[in-house]
Amino acid sequence: MPLYLIILLFFLNILFGITFFYSIFLLIFHPRKKRKLIVIPLPRGIIYLFKDKIVDKITDFFHSYLEVNRAEFETSKSSEMARDISNKAVKFVNENAKLLPSFLKSRIISFLENVIYHFAMELSCSFLPQMIDRYLIKERIIQLFSDNNIIFVERKAKYYLTKPIVIFGGVFGLIFALFNLILLIIFSIL
């Protein structure tokens, strides 16, 4: 096989990787309006198509995880999260406090476990819901998913994500080009 065909195949694979990942990026945001290709209606971008569902999911998240009654502390997700955080902190202290005497180490660990657990519970069960109510977070999330703000998010995403997506797609295509080259060499020898 001529060398120019091998090089052409190599660069076509890289170009395919770049266009594949960039087309995924475009599917998220475009088209903004309902359009038709001759007679066939084109679907809107993923964010525009599912923006109501995304807003509903986010507001459900706030209702289910952060607005917890004091009576439900032991069975709530916030309590579970606080236990996980305190267990991770205790594990970290156990691993890094090897030089402390055991009588001090056990007292420090139990103290840290209680303090971190109660801090995380207070943060997730009273502080965050108060902040959500005070700063009208739910209404701002709904505003964020209005059409003008999605265009703003798209511009920022294009500015900051285009280069990494193109690089990732190029690397992806390069890997496939190398595999194709190896297969081409193997089958040309046989």
Per-residue model confidence as pLDDT tens digits over 103-156: 788 888 888 888 888 888 787 777 777 777 777 777 777 777 776 777 777 788
DSSP, residue by residue, 33-56: S-EEETTEEEPPPHHHHSHHHHHH
Question: Which residues have C-beta within 8 Å of that of residue 162, sequence separation ≥ 6?
Answer: 22, 25
> How high is the pLDDT of residue 1?
66
Higher pLDDT, 146 or 181: 181
> What whole-number distance in Å separates Cα of residue 125 and Cα of residue 82?
10
Residues spanned by the domain of 55? 3-189
> What whole-number distance in Å separates Cα of residue 134 and Cα of residue 71?
23
pLDDT digits (tens, 9 = 90+) for 54-103: 777 877 776 665 555 444 555 566 677 778 888 888 888 888 877 778 77
> How high is the pLDDT of residue 70?
46
Q: Total structural domains in the chain?
A: 1
pLDDT digits (tens, 9 = 90+) for 153-168: 778 878 888 888 888 8
* Helix residue ranges, H only, 46-146: 46-49, 51-61, 77-96, 102-122, 128-134, 137-144
**How far from chain centre, in Å, is Cα 67?**
23
For residue 33 the two structure tokens come to 């309006």
| CA-based max dimension of the chain | 79
> How high is the pLDDT of residue 33?
64
Residue type, 82: A
Mean pLDDT value across residues 27-39 = 67
Confirm if 44 and 33 have CB atoms less than 8 A apart. Answer: yes
